[in-house]
Each structure stands twice: as structure tokens, then as C-alpha cells.
Structure 1
């Protein structure tokens, strides 16, 4: 997450109108985990995760939604998870949790403007959480792709705009040099040198924060440009990976509004992205046979935004779900930090450590259209559910029973 003045003001008006100001705590999944784990294990064989950016549930799924395709058309075809939560603020910590179960660090909750190695000092006993500071975890910290590979299953990451500007990042496994400033924190407008512009953001590509991935040859073949690869890979079930993580560009995921290329951004552009790609995925042989699409948001938006002559003060409510814990690397809450960008100072205050209520939509041949569940889920729940689908163990906070697993309330078409 980086900051756009028009979106701060718009988001603040929406929040005031909705009466949102307090931390919201959702209930954890009370279903039997062992029962849920068996529901689709061996049935779902291809999963796509599409992660959008920075919207609260009431804006996305409310009566005046700017994203009717997601909020109305797709919920009519699948399941709406109204109790789905992010696991932190502001962006990167959420992506890390989805792929590894690792909670935030002071650096990841600030989006790792410096792409720095994680300095690990120890490991917690219960959940095998890495204790330390930094961004790029050592190879000993395992991820969902590591688990999948160990079981002979396949994975792939598709990244919008990655490699459009080769001077910033490669078109495969694109990330800054270690311990340097991440130049992808800001979108690049179209120019003579870069005709398409470059709205790729490393911080929205979770694969880039684990040495077990970036130091492997798999990274060059498996983390690729979205537009140049996804449709070709969907041509047959045999060329479709078992697990697919899709990160749209900073415009297509709704992060920026307006976008540097002139598009509106926000939920309007995110909805247009889904209208293009969801029919392509659902028409594929892999999806029709045994697919599951998960459309989520990394986090909800901020609780309040107060501009001043020198910068902006932004407060995040930090609502949590599912007995989520802050982890071993964060200080006590509330807490504040500052980021300087473009000559302004952004003061971030975190009331609590969660990512607030976003909602999520799931599509599958195993889900009846129009399904709605209020059960509490979050990114750790999603990771745990995907691990269960493929018969894997649980990583990090996905091990905690409170995380829960997508159950019969979601898979209503079995």
C-alpha cells in the first residue's frame, strides 16, 4: 500500500458514512477442522488466488458498490465470505501471511521500502515462526510453493506489468537487488522508453520475499508476467499449475486511483480486470474439472485520514478475526511509524495489528451460486484451506486451530 490523496479523502467519507470507527472482531471458524479438511481434499486440484487491494467490506459489497461484477455477478455464481479479514496493514505483511503463515515484522508492515534481508535470531517453538527483523526470509522459512514442490505438485505466480521496465525489474522473478531501495513502490507512467508504463509492485508479489524461492531456478520459470503467460497456460489442464497466485498491476488491483495511465483505478478498474480474466479462467479445462478461484483483498482501508501542510496522518483500526495473534516481531499496540515519500511525511498509527474486514468471493464447481457465509476467515484460514486441499501440513499461523478451514458453509455444491 502506498498513498493517493484522492483515495484518502474518498475512503474517509465512505467510512464516516458507514459509521466505521471501532475495531471489529469477528468470530473464528467454529466448524470441525478435521471434517472441513476432508471436504474437498482430492476433489479440488487447481486453485487460483486473485488478490485485490485496500477496500473495506461495506464499500465493495454495499448497495452502491463501484464493483458490481464482483459484488453482484460473481457472488451470484459462487460464495460470498462476508467475514473474511486481512491479517495486517499496510500490504506486504498480508501477502507474506498468505504464502507462508508468517506474521508481520516492523519492516513488512511498512512495505519494505528497502528490500532487505531478514535477520533471524531464533524460531518460536509452537508455530515455527521466524523471530527477527527484515523482509526477505532465509531459505529455512518454508512456503506453500515449497510444500507443493515437495509433494510433486506445481505452482505459478502471475504478475501484472512485471518486466515492463527492465531497468527496474526482470520480466521473471522480478525484484530489487538485496538491501537496495525498492523502485517499484511507485507506478511508472507510459513514456517513449516504456510505452506501456510499469505498474508492477514487488511488495504485492509474495514470492519475492523468500530465499527458498528467489534463490531457486524455479523462480525464473514460475514467477512470470501475467499478460504474456496466463492465457497460454490455461490452454490445457496439463499446462495449468495446481496453485496459481495472480497479482494485477497497481491499477488493475484497485490500489491506485486515478492511475498513471489515465484509467480510473480503484474498484472500477479492479472490476474491469475481473470481467476480463474470470471468464477466461472459468472457461479453462482445469477450472471446469476441479477448480477453485479465491478473490480476496490484502487488507481493508484505513480508519481515518487527516491531511496537513507537511504530510498526512493515517490511522488503521486493525480489526482481527479467527483468534489471530500479532506474532513475535511486533511491539505492543497501538503503535506509530513514519514514511517519507515525495517530500511529504506519512504518519501511520496502528490501533491494533489486524487487517480489518474485507470480504472475499470464491468460485468453484463445488460451490452453489448465491452462497453466503458469515463465518470468520482470514489469510491464515485461506492458506490452511489450500494446504488441506492438497494434503499438505500447515505453516506458521495456519497451524492454529482458530484459523479454521473453508468448510461446508463454503463448499455447498458437494
Structure 2
């Protein structure tokens, strides 16, 4: 299965290199680091209480204890697709449902910003039938384009729309920012929390271990909760530049986007301009 191949790739990292401290971005508050790599992983449709501290989610709970655990993080809306579009572009772009295809043209987005700044971006989707695929779903329904927003923007090259099997064994070759999207079972959409937690436990430890010695960051978040008005979701940041512990600051997808943009000196898009980036969790300690 693709996920097992991916887990194997992640775990094939070599012995840790000497630790490198976070650096700052010119013109960006000194409180923000500049990771060499950021990996964003998005799960589906579960509330904070269903995951963090739940017996069905031992790995994600341990990850929350190892990093900054946001106890007041929220999705933007329901259903799924508008949240993904908002996280990538600072706006839902008029998307209010999960209908497909959505063609958002050259609307501004984080992927294009990174590429225009001479940095790099890729989205890795589990069970994507082929690199650059723009269909709405895989034949078996395990991949869904509604969870892959970069496929909606003509300004993002097809080469950035990758299958999870392409996730590199040499983690140093990862893009500056990459997204990893589990399939419809492993993301907890069609399967229970325990299935997604097991996938995370197979797939993410190699990157977490490598990132600790290579100035890199993991962001784990959810698109939305289980349908409540509060839309309270888990969000965890883990890396050598992160001070572990619970943090009660209220954040949402706009906050995450703004933080990524500020880290790399990019202008904030849409609603991200109206929210400050995440501060107070960063440390220069390895």
C-alpha cells in the first residue's frame, strides 16, 4: 500500500546531522523562526476532545505532549472543502460545499507565493492516481480532490501535485513547505480516530525525529470538527524551535497561513492579514 511505502520512506532517514538553530526572516518579528522545511498534515472531521487525550489516539496525544498543543484551535466553516481552500489562500474563494471540480484560476495562494519567492512547495496526497491528477476522486474513492486545494489553482504547477508515494526518502530534499494528505480512511473521514492515529504513528515519527536535528517543523491540524458550531479542532506544532506545552491562544486556519507566510517573508493573503502570526511558543533552543 502507498501508506506503507510512505512510512518506509520516512523511516529511512540517516543518522542525525549536527543541530542547526532556527534563523529569523529579515523584516519579520524576531520571535518567528524560519524553518528549513515545514510539513503540514491535515486530518478530517474530528473534534479536539475526540483526539487529544482520547484512548483511541495514543500517538497524536503523545505528539501533542511533545510539541505546542493548541487547546483553542478552530476550523473556519463546514463542510471540508472551504477549510482547505482557506488554509491555502486566506479565503474560501466562494466555495461553500464539497462539489468538484473547483477551478480557482490564478487566485493568490501560498503555493504560488513560495514559488514566486524562489522557495518550493509540494502537496502529497495518499492514493492520488497519478502525479498532476485533477480528477475529482480515485476509482476506489480513497482519494478526493476536495481535500487537495492546490489542484484547484491553475497558478500551481501540476508538478507540485504529487502522490504520497513520491514523499522523498531523503528528507533534506523536501520542499520548503509541503502538505501531506492521508486518504479518506487514514484521515479519519471514513474511518475511526484509531485508524488515523495508527496511520500517523506509522508515518510521522521518522520526520519528527529528523526534524529535531534539521531545523524543521511539523504542523498537524484538522479541516473541521464533527459538525458543531464551535468547530473546535486539534492543532499541534512540533519541532526544535517549538517550546512544548498547552497553549490557550485561539487560532484558526488563517493564523496558520499567516504564520507560514511571515516565516518566509511573504505578504499575508486575504483574511490572514487580519490575524497575527503564532508567537510565544518559539525558542532558539534546539
CA distance in 2, matches of 1:388, 1:53: 26
- Cα pair 1:36 1:405 within 8 Å, conserved: no
Q: Does the residue aligned with 2:213 lie in a helix, a strand or coil?
A: helix
Higher relative contact order (CA 8 A, sep 6+): 2
Give the alignment of 1:15-414 within 5 angstroms: 37-41=29-33, 43-62=34-53, 64-71=54-61, 73-103=62-92, 105=94, 108-112=95-99, 114-115=100-101, 135-139=102-106, 141-163=107-129, 171-176=130-135, 182=136, 184=137, 197-213=140-156, 218-219=157-158, 221-226=159-164, 228-232=165-169, 235-237=170-172, 239-256=173-190, 265-284=191-210, 288-303=213-228, 317=229, 319=230, 356-369=231-244, 371-400=245-274, 403-408=275-280, 410-412=281-283, 414=285
CA distance in 1, matches of 2:110, 2:28: 19
List structure 1 segments (4+ residues) > 6 angstroms apart after TM superposition. none
CA distance in 1, matches of 2:277, 2:84: 18
Q: Cα gap change, 1:104/1:138 in structure 2, threshold over 3 Å: closer, same or farther?
A: closer
Per-residue CA deviation, residues 126-149 of structure 1 (Å, 9 max, x unaligned), is xxxxxxxxx32121x111111111
- Count of aligned pairs: 260
CA distance in 2, matches of 1:200, 1:271: 18
How far 1:231 moved relative to its partner? 3.6
Per-residue CA deviation, residues 255-284 of structure 1 (Å, 9 max, x unaligned), is 00xxxxxxxx22111101111121121243
CA distance in 2, matches of 1:399, 1:98: 13
Q: Cα gap change, 1:276/1:210 in structure 2, threshold over 3 Å: closer, same or farther?
A: same
TM-score by length of 1: 0.59
CA radius of gyration, larger in: 1
CA distance in 1, matches of 2:248, 2:184: 29
How far 1:240 moved relative to its partner? 1.4
Aligned to 1:26: none
- Structure 1: runs of 5+ lacking an equivalent: 1-34, 116-134, 164-170, 177-181, 189-196, 257-264, 304-316, 320-355
Aligned to 1:339: none
Q: Does the residue aligned with 2:184 lie in a helix, a strand or coil?
A: coil
